[in-house]
Amino acid sequence: MYARTWKLNLLPNFFEPVFYLASVGIGVGAYVQQMGGLRYVEFLAPGLVCVAAMNGASFEVTYNVFIRLAFEKTYDAMLTTPIEPDDVLVGEVTWAITRSMIYGGCFYTILVAASLAPLPASLLVVPVLALAGLLFAALGLAFCVRLPAIDFFSYYFTMFLTPLFLFSDVFFPLKERLSPAWLTVAEVLPLLHPVRLARAAFHGGAEPLRVAWDLTYILVLSALLLLYARGRIRRRLTN
Amino acid sequence: MAACGDAAMISPPPPAPKGIIRARGVSKRFGDRMAVDGLDLDVPAGCCFGLLGPNGAGKTTTLRMLYGVTRPTSGRIEVFGLDVATHSRTVRARLGVTLQESVLIEALTPVENLMVFGRYHLMRDAELRPRIDELIDFLQLGSHRDVPVRNLSGGFKRRLAVALSLVARPQLLILDEPTTGLDPAVRLALWTKVRELRDHGTTVLVTTHYMDEAERLCDRVAIMAAGAVLVEGEPRELISRLLARDTVEIEASEQEAAQLLSGYEESTNRMQAGNRAVVHLEDAAALVSHIRGRDSVADRRLIVRPTNLEDVFLHLTGMTLEASA
Ligand SMILES: Nc1ncnc2c1ncn2[C@@H]1O[C@H](COP(=O)(O)OP(=O)(O)O)[C@@H](O)[C@H]1O
Ligand SMILES: [Mg+2]
């Protein structure tokens, strides 16, 4: 709807998955011979691409949006122009997705250079990055709009994103470690779904039903959360 | 009027309807508090209109309703003849607003801030670039056009904020307390620009709690208190209609003042504030000689001055007020 001219700043968060890949993939990989039928570093690659995308979106819609909402009067200024609150929301989500694609895309490029991403099949991960961006933009925004103070974001990161990162099929295949009952419970984890899609893009073995479920999960949850965030943002900006 | 030649381009006089703003019975409730309560307002095209009132009078809330960001609890507002409730986007495309708080992006330069704002209005580069140069010229921002905003002075930032609201060549410029917190010289310079805009056809609606500024610089004013407009009109006309041309301040207690004024024929409007009687009347000289003639205190302080809007405001919101004939 409107062009965003915020300056790009590639945050250190981008390097986090890169370091994980290097240390865990190469370090732990030396001891763990095989994971899910792959070299460990190959197993890690698709999950970490999604983590990069998750970080890209999350930092944008949490700290940055909160600051604009609470401290800077950026949105109030926008609303003196023909822009409506819905445009603000669309703008933020679009920008978060863009950030996801930049973070994830750069990481993906590194993987391709390191021959950890089979071409051309793994290119399918690009739309997955966009979906991950959408999902984590929605999650972050829904959290952001009802936050009383900026300090609470540390909970979001340590209590929510970090466990997700550890338990969403990124470091080990859940289905080899969890009982069927727990596997069903694990389906609520948001990061699991883009990771599974990314893994299918990298290494094949996509089951149509599962892909359909992952896509549905991502789209429906995003839609619900954004609808919620939209109501809150409207009320906050126009009262 | 140095910038006169290109000032015509700064604000093209639009074919404006007679009244730019028309508000009828507008109220806004926040919880159990009425921020605006039955407000009527008419702002004619091409004038510099001052909305005056103390903090909390409901000025900012009124402005927000005018550009359609706050929805009135009741009442009807038309701007450019359009109902704001249904045409807020169109209305906002044709007006510019400078908010009370700074909205500048601190990390960006003035030029970049102007670019961002132009984008909000969906302006194209080809149109935006010359417009930015024009505004930088008009508001004298050239010396620091490429310095990040965070390093600029308060007066400079305020001029930039006004420039932002002018990007899309608004027919109506809304300024919320543009001079609050600025030193007098900077305030005057800003007002000069506002007048210049008005001279070229832009209607200006400005809020302030500096009554003296409003009196000198606004064509019309409305005085607000507790969410409603108390009176509206030209400053001089309001003063002579509601009070009188002159004011005499007498250093005297209430009884003393009553004594000094007894037997004085001309009608006066009197108010006591502590140990000071304030008398509004048409002919101060006559009263001064009346008092001097009968006063037992030889060196009593008498201050004679023109009546101002501050007096009108006190009169309306009723301090200890007493009209004597
Ligand atoms: N968003 C809001 N929520 C609750 N009360 C508000 C809100 N905005 C303004 N008010 C209240 O409405 C009254 C008028 O405020 P405002 O319009 O800002 O006055 P002014 O601009 O004249 O100082 C004040 O009492 C203020 O506390
Ligand atoms: Mg205000």
Any idea which of A29-33, A67-71, A196-200 has the lowest mean pLDDT? A29-33
**At B158, which helix (H) or strand (E)?**
helix B154-166
Strand B33-44 with B268-272, pairing: unpaired
Question: Cα(B231)–Cα(B158) distance, rounded to whole angstroms?
Answer: 29
B109 lines ligand 1 (CB under 6 A): no
SS3 B29: strand
With an 8 Å Cβ cutoff, is A72 touching chain B?
yes
Query: For residue A120, is the peptide bond before it cis, meaning its omega torsion is within 30 degrees of 0?
Result: yes
How much is the pLDDT for B315? Answer: 87
Strands (E), A10-116: 34-35, 38-39
Q: Which residues 70-99 of chain B have a CB within 8 Å of chain A?
A: 70-71, 89-90, 92-93, 96-97, 99
Mean pLDDT value across residues B162-182: 93
pLDDT-derived band of residue B11, with 50, 70 and 90 as boundaries? low
Flag if A74 and B115 touch (Cβ within 8 Å): no
How much is the pLDDT for B12? Answer: 53
Q: Which ligand is nearest to the CA of B180?
A: 2
Flag if B119 and A2 touch (Cβ within 8 Å): yes
Q: What is B283-313 written as a DSSP string?
A: -HHHHHHHHHHH-S-TT--EEEEE--HHHHH
With an 8 Å Cβ cutoff, is B63 touching chain A?
no
Q: Ligand 1 mean position to B61 CA, how many Å?
A: 6
How much is the pLDDT for B2? Answer: 30
How much is the pLDDT for A5? Answer: 43
Q: Ligand 2 mean position to B58 CA, how many Å?
A: 7
pLDDT in tens, A105-119: 999 998 999 888 888
How much is the pLDDT for A36? Answer: 66
pTM of the model: 0.84
Q: What is B184-218 written as a DSSP string?
A: HHHHHHHHHHHHHHHHTT-EEEEEES-HHHHHHH-
Q: How many residues does this entry show for chain A?
A: 239
Token pair for residue A145? Answer: 């709009």
Taking a C-beta distance cutoff of 8 angstroms, is the pair B49, B23 a contact? Answer: no
Mean pLDDT value across residues A2-11: 43
Distance of CA B285 to the CA centre of its chain: 32
pLDDT in tens, B113-171: 999 899 889 899 999 999 999 999 999 999 999 999 999 998 899 999 999 999 999 99
Q: Is pLDDT of A133 > 80?
A: yes
Question: Domain B19-239 class?
Answer: alpha beta
Q: pLDDT: is A146 or B38 the higher one?
A: B38
Mean pLDDT value across residues B226-230: 92
Mutate to test the pocket of ligand 1, among B27, B28, B51, B61 (most ligand atoms within 8 A of CB): B61
**ipTM of the prediction greater than 0.90, yes or no:** no
How much is the pLDDT for B209? Answer: 84
How much is the pLDDT for A157? Answer: 85
pLDDT in tens, B136-150: 999 999 999 999 999
Q: Would you tell me the crossing angle of helices A192-203 and A40-59 to the nearest 10 degrees?
A: 140
pLDDT in tens, B288-319: 888 888 877 778 889 999 999 989 988 888 64
Q: Is pLDDT of A8 > 50?
A: no
pLDDT in tens, B19-67: 899 999 999 999 999 999 999 999 999 999 999 988 889 999 999 999 9
pLDDT-derived band of residue A29, with 50, 70 and 90 as boundaries? low
Strand B74-79 with B19-30, pairing: antiparallel
pLDDT-derived band of residue A184, with 50, 70 and 90 as boundaries? confident
Nearest to B93 among A74, A78, A82 (CB): A82
Q: What is the DSSP letter of B272?
A: E
Strand B95-98 with B172-176, pairing: parallel
Mean pLDDT value across residues B254-271: 82
pLDDT in tens, B73-116: 999 999 999 999 999 999 999 999 999 888 888 888 999 999 98
Q: What CATH number is given for B242-324 in this structure?
A: 3.30.70
Average pLDDT for chain B: 87
Q: Where are the domains of chain B?
A: 19-239, 242-324
